[in-house]
């Protein structure tokens, strides 16, 4: 039995609705079980993670079959998708088929099928999901998430947010990362709450979900800033029990505007693909702008200076945030060196973020230890990945990609480009470079702006000084 799908397998789950398509738990289990019986018995399966009921059935089917599931962004570019498929060793597509399946066989969902649950019994340490995350350089790495980590993470959030079967969760987040898939789909299937995925995370759809009785809402800062800008839709959320924001810092003006319109103080939380959610504002605790809360049950955190010395928990001292606990990943697929580099000698995971912690244990994330991880619209984007794509264009001699402040997205992806000699810096070329990245990578990774420069600022060692760009 899966470590994750408790409510679904025990018959206590409630209805799942995705973009208007509703599936009773018995029908979901039957269709997923039928799919599971047609999947490979050991190799990973790729899921074209569209905002559809097929994605939910495919992910559940993979978990029931005991095989690792590899969610692939629906907007992934050709190069990105090819890397994920090759690196993960996926042998087939499950669920919705992409326009170009890259020669892999496709196992389709049959929503009318009603097979009994398969006999596979994955252990707690078996890998449930392989999530690809953008690092600061190079191609995305496969994060190995075992069943036990996901189960522990969901149970900890249930305790922190008083999340029960009586809730109806509503959100419109992508179904291939921690927030949208692990919390937003597997959470209800473990805890028993109903799920309404709105298809798209627009203010009007969130308001409609609230009017229909949704009690718990997930969003990223871009979603919440758009909700806050639509007064009538925002006021509809007053009937909810809890609003949750994550993936990047929620701007204080948005927090305050939502409190004014809805009566709710948004609960922020913090985590990574590698750690799941480790810190969260509690439903029964303080929810303050810019504060991501306290460690969830079973998780420990600490701050260390660059010299390894402890940083005081006084709300002022800034240090490198390190965590440990049952929600952490099992390593990067095929990257033992990268995995080893993430851990301290005494067993703590280096998050790469810097933070402050006050005497009450409240955490505030100050920023990224590296400037190369961009948080835009709730997505974490590796600058090196975008730079590699740009350098593949014949007009580009050098480039540096940074995240600059943006009122809507949090940060927008901006590319500083040095052109090859003799190439004209025309506006049409900027559009061409943006389209070039869009063709290779996911749409949200494309530069929102291209700035042509004569050269890039560098230090004495030749390293680009991104802090001087802007």
Pairing state between β 319-324 and 300-304: antiparallel
**Inter-CA distances, 92 with 36, 42, 176, 402, Å:** 12, 12, 17, 36
Domain with CATH 2.30.38.10 in the chain: 269-368
Q: Please list the residue range(s) of the chain that carry CATH number 3.30.300.30.
A: 373-468
Using an 8 Å Cβ cutoff, are 400 and 469 in contact? yes
**Architecture, CATH, for domain 373-468:** 2-Layer Sandwich (3.30)
CATH 3.40.50.12780: which residues of the chain? 6-200
Contact 378, 178 (CB under 8 A): no
- Between CA 286 and CA 267 the distance in angstroms is 9
pLDDT at 371: 74
Cα three-residue angle 409-49-375, rounded to 5 degrees: 20
Q: Tell me the CATH architecture of domain 269-368.
A: Roll (2.30)
Under CATH, to which class is 6-200 assigned? alpha beta
β partners of residue 133: 141
Residue 44's pLDDT is: 97
Q: Residue-wise pLDDT tens for the chain (470 aa)?
A: 568 999 999 999 999 999 999 999 999 999 999 999 999 988 999 999 999 999 999 999 999 999 999 999 998 888 889 999 999 999 999 999 888 776 799 999 999 998 887 777 889 999 999 999 865 556 789 999 999 999 999 999 999 999 999 999 999 999 999 999 999 999 999 999 999 999 999 999 999 999 999 999 999 988 999 999 999 999 999 999 999 999 888 888 889 999 999 999 999 999 999 999 999 999 999 999 889 999 999 999 999 988 899 999 998 888 899 999 999 999 999 999 999 999 999 999 999 988 899 999 999 887 677 777 788 998 878 787 888 889 889 999 999 999 999 999 999 999 999 999 999 999 999 999 999 999 988 899 999 999 999 999 986 546 788 889 98
- Whether residue 398 contacts residue 418, with contact meaning beta carbons closer than 8 Å, is answered with yes
CA 5 to chain centre: 20
Q: What is the pLDDT of residue 366?
A: 79
Q: Is the dihedral of CA 430, 434, 435, 437 positive or negative?
A: positive
Task: Give 202-251 as a DSSP string.
Answer: -HHHHHHHHHTT--EEEE-HHHHHHHHT-HHHHHHGGG-SEEEE-SSPPP
H or E stretch at 467: none
Question: What's residue 384's pLDDT?
Answer: 79
Write down how long the chain is: 470
């Amino acid at each position: 039995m899966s470590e994750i799908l408790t409510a679904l397998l025990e018959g206590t789950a409630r209805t799942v609705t995705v973009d208007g398509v509703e599936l009773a738990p018995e029908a979901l289990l039957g269709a997923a079980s039928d799919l599971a019986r047609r999947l490979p018995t050991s190799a990973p399966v790729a899921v074209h993670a569209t905002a559809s009921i097929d994605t939910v059935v495919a992910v559940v089917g993979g978990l029931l079959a005991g095989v690792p599931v590899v969610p692939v962004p629906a907007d992934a570019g050709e190069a990105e998708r090819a890397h994920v498929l090759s690196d993960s060793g996926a042998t087939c597509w499950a669920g919705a088929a992409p326009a170009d399946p890259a020669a892999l066989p496709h196992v389709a969902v049959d929503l009318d099928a009603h097979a009994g649950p398969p006999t596979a019994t994955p252990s707690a340490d078996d890998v449930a999901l392989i999530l690809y995350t953008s690092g600061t350089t190079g191609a995305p790495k496969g994060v190995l998430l075992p069943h036990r980590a996901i189960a522990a993470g969901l149970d900890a959030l249930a305790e922190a947010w008083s999340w029960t079967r009586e809730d109806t969760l509503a959100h419109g987040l992508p179904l291939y990362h921690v927030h949208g898939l692990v919390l937003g789909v597997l959470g209800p299937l473990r805890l028993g709450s109903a799920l309404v995925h709105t298809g798209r995370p627009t203010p009007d759809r969130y308001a409609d979900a609230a009017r229909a009785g949704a009690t718990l809402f997930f969003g990223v800062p871009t979603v919440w800033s758009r909700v806050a800008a639509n007064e009538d839709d925002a006021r509809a959320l007053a009937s909810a029990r809890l609003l949750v924001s994550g993936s990047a810092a929620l701007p204080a003006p948005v927090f305050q505007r939502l409190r004014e319109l809805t009566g709710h103080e948004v609960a922020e939380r913090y985590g990574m693909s590698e750690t799941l959610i480790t810190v969260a504002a509690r439903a029964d605790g303080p929810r303050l702008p810019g504060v991501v809360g306290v460690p969830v049950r079973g998780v420990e955190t600490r701050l260390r200076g660059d010299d390894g010395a402890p940083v005081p928990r006084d709300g002022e001292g800034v240090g490198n945030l390190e965590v440990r606990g049952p929600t952490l990943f099992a390593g990067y697929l095929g990257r033992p060196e990268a995995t080893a580099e993430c851990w301290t000698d005494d067993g703590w995971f280096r998050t790469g973020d810097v933070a402050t912690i006050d005497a009450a244990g409240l955490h505030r994330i100050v920023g990224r230890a590296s400037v190369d991880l961009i948080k835009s619209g709730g997505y974490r984007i590796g600058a090196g990945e975008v730079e590699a794509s740009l350098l593949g264009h014949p007009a580009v001699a050098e480039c540096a990609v940074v995240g600059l402040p943006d009122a809507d997205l949090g940060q927008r992806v901006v590319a500083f480009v040095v052109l090859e000699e003799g190439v004209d810096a025309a506006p049409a070329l900027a559009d061409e470079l943006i389209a070039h990245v869009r063709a290779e990578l996911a749409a949200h990774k494309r530069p929102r702006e291209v700035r042509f420069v004569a050269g890039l600022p560098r230090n004495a060692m030749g390293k680009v000084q991104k802090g001087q760009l802007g």
